[in-house]
Amino acid sequence: MNDQGTMGGKAMPLLLMAPALLLLALIFLWPWLHYGWLSVHASSLLTGLKAVPNGGANWQRLLQDGRFWQDALQTLRFAGLSVLLELGLGLLMALSLHRPSRGRGVLRALMILPWALPGTVMALGWRWILNDPYGPLNGLLQALGGRSYPFLASPGTTWAFTVLADVWKTTPFVAIVLLAGLQSIPRDLEEALRLEGAGSWTLLRRLQWPLLGPYVALAVLFRLAQAFGVFDLIQLLTGGGPAGSTESLALYAYLNAMRFLDFGYSATLMVATFLLVVALSLVWLGWMRWQGARG
């Protein structure tokens, strides 16, 4: 629709938008002003939970806080690997949903189910599946003649399974975005290539993957930002353990606020995480643009 000037200038549109924008400002913008202010104050049990200005002490502490840097690396590693696997598996899922067939609706519904269910619900489900020694995975190991393994007690396997659980839950989202991309490709192009004798692999490499570019960029951007804020899954599946080896930045900030009651430092961590998410998104967007300019 094009109704430029039909609402009597900008007043009417702005009036229509005002309630939503006010709520958005309260929920999305105000917290950052508040965090910014809090991050230059001491507000913890030591100050009786009152905010006392402390200059840059929180930020100085952040720079020297080994746990922060370790969590930042862990979060980055988690987000990077999860998103990479989600992209691969999501592409497979999208391709298999793209082929027309009977019962495709039910198939799609069942495949997106992990994405639609609450993360909290299955986080504990995974804890049962990985239980030592009674979970099904250990049951399988024992049936094969092995011994049960404490999957959630050694850093390596715990980390691998948090990634796996995240991939399980969010791959359907990536698949749906990529499926939209596949369906935007004109059928004639696919059929022309097929008539030339191209198989599925050639089709994917020469036609579908290049045209999926913007959809991949979008899915990865969204998933990177979300995975960098991972909280529900880690808190409930591992609690950040063993020995902090799966702790994410969001969980560290949460613990500072709710367990150590150090609101000043928690706010500092929030701001730092926010800046890292923005930086990560910009790097990804910049890289995609560079790729686009080059290709």
Partner 1 sequence: MMRILLLCWSLAPLLWQLRTSFLVGDVLVGEQSQPGLSPWTLANYRLVLHGDPSLIQVLLNSTVLGLITTLLTLILALPCAYGLHALRGHLQRSIHAGLVGAALFPTVLLFLSLLQVARSLGLANHLLALSLPYAALSLPFAILLLQAAINDLPPELEDAARLDGLHTLQRLRLIVAPLLTPALASTGLLVFLASWNEYPIALTWLSRSDRLTLPAAMGRIASSSVYTIPYGPYAAATVLGSLPLLLLVLLFQRWIISGLTQGAVKG
Q: Which stretch binds partner 1 (CB under 8 A): 57-65, 66-74, 189-197, 233-241?
A: 233-241
Question: Rounded to the nearest whole angstrom, what is the least distance from the CB of residue 266 to partner 1 in the complex?
Answer: 6
**Which tokens in the block code for residue 253?**
């900030």
30: contact with partner 1 by CB under 8 A: yes
> Residue 58's closest CA among 280, 290, 283, 262?
262
Beta bridge partners of 42: 52
Residues 153-182 that bind partner 1 (CB under 8 A): 168, 172-173, 176-177, 179-181
- Separation CA 239–CA 235 (nearest Å): 4
Question: Rounded to the nearest whole angstrom, what is the least distance from the CB of residue 208 to partner 1 in the complex?
Answer: 15
97 touches 179 (CB < 8 A): yes
Question: Rounded to the nearest whole angstrom, what is the least distance from the CB of residue 116 to partner 1 in the complex?
Answer: 5
Question: Rounded to the nearest whole angstrom, what is the least distance from the CB of residue 238 to partner 1 in the complex?
Answer: 11
Question: Rounded to the nearest whole angstrom, what is the least distance from the CB of residue 198 to partner 1 in the complex?
Answer: 18
267 touches 39 (CB < 8 A): yes
In the bound state with partner 1, the residue whose beta carbon lies nearer, of 207 and 257, is 257
Residues 243-272 that bind partner 1 (CB under 8 A): 250, 253-254, 257-258, 263, 266-267, 270
193 touches 207 (CB < 8 A): yes
Residues 187-216 that bind partner 1 (CB under 8 A): 215
Residues 65-124 that bind partner 1 (CB under 8 A): 92-93, 95-96, 105-114, 116-124
In the bound state with partner 1, the residue whose beta carbon lies nearer, of 16 and 192, is 16
**Which tokens in the block code for residue 150?**
């404490």
Tell me the CA end-to-end span of the chain in Å, nearest whole number: 34
Question: Rounded to the nearest whole angstrom, what is the least distance from the CB of residue 231 to partner 1 in the complex?
Answer: 4
Residue 139, judged by CB atoms within 10 A of its CB (0-12, 13-18, 19+), counts as: middle
In the bound state with partner 1, the residue whose beta carbon lies nearer, of 9 and 294, is 9
Cα→Cα distances 178→8, 89, 171, 217, Å: 41, 11, 11, 10
